[in-house]
Amino acid sequence: MEIKANVKHIKMSPRKIRLVVDVVRGMEVWKALDQLKFVKKLAVKPVAKLVHSAIANAVNNFELDKDNLFIKEIRVDEGSTTHRWMPRAYGRATPLRKRSSHINLILAEIKDSGVKGPKKQKIEAPIKLGSEEGNKTIKQENKKTEKMSSFVKETEDKKDEKAEKITKEAAVEKGKKITDPRMEGRGGHTKVEGKSHKGFTDKIFRRKSG
């Protein structure tokens, strides 16, 4: 049985991480963790964290014994590199390559336990149908749906009433005649919309006879 775990985009060069990984390769899990405590390298922290993650996968997902595991394979691959520049004398610039790395880890069992795949979780319904609790919840849901349907109907009726009022008011306004309350039309007649009446300029240039 093999258990896999990996970590990506560690901001450290793979050459530095391989110095730590080569010490641990092929060891039992608990011996590897003890060995990492005495290595004075910055790469110890991500490697130890990855080993703990792989152990957790084996115990929780496959129900394996953590004392029966060893590091079968651990590999460090090169990740993406970011390019930067550093100013130097006489207007020169030297390149800086900030590298990253990916670590892939595979654990295996020392003694085969016969486990072939991950454990299956039993999914049970939170409330059994036909019980008293189930009937109560069904009644409550029915009441909620009835309230929502009645509320929707009321809002639709109100909208229909408003639309009818608006159409009636529009029909009444169309039937009304436009009257001039100030009686400014000729001979006291009502003005007709759209026609222009004579203004001040027409009176000035009006021609008088005799």
Q: Any idea where the domains of the chain sit in the sequence?
A: 2-84+95-109, 127-195
Q: How confident is the model at residue 136 (pLDDT cuts 50, 70, 90)?
A: confident
Please check whether residue 85 is in contact with residue 93, taking contact to mean a CB–CB distance below 8 angstroms: yes
* Vertex 93 angle, CA 88 and 95, to 5°: 120
Give pLDDT, residue 165. Answer: 79
Token duo for residue 92 = 């020169």
CB neighbour burial string for 119-137, b if at least 16 within 10 angstroms, e if fewer: eeeeeeeeeeeeeeeeeee
Token duo for residue 156 = 């639709």
Q: Is the pLDDT of residue 198 over 60?
A: no
- Tell me which fold the domain 2-84+95-109 belongs to: Ribosomal Protein L22; Chain A (3.90.470)
Distance separating alpha carbons of residues 34 and 22, to the nearest angstrom = 15
Distance separating alpha carbons of residues 168 and 174, to the nearest angstrom = 10
Mean pLDDT of the chain: 81
Distance separating alpha carbons of residues 49 and 76, to the nearest angstrom = 15
Percent with pLDDT over 70 in the chain: 72
Q: What is the DSSP letter of 92?
A: -
The two counts, helices (H) then strands (E), for the chain are 5, 5
Could you tell me if residue 5 is left (phi over 0), alpha (psi between -120 and 50 degrees) or otherwise beta?
Answer: beta
Give pLDDT, residue 128. Answer: 57
Q: Is the pLDDT of residue 119 over 60?
A: yes
Please check whether residue 20 is in contact with residue 47, taking contact to mean a CB–CB distance below 8 angstroms: yes
Cβ-in-10-Å burial (0-12, 13-18, 19+) of 181 comes to exposed
Q: Is the pLDDT of residue 196 over 60?
A: no
Give pLDDT, residue 132. Answer: 67
- Per-residue pLDDT of 55-85, as tens digits, reads 999 999 999 999 999 999 999 999 999 999 9
Cβ-in-10-Å burial (0-12, 13-18, 19+) of 82 comes to exposed
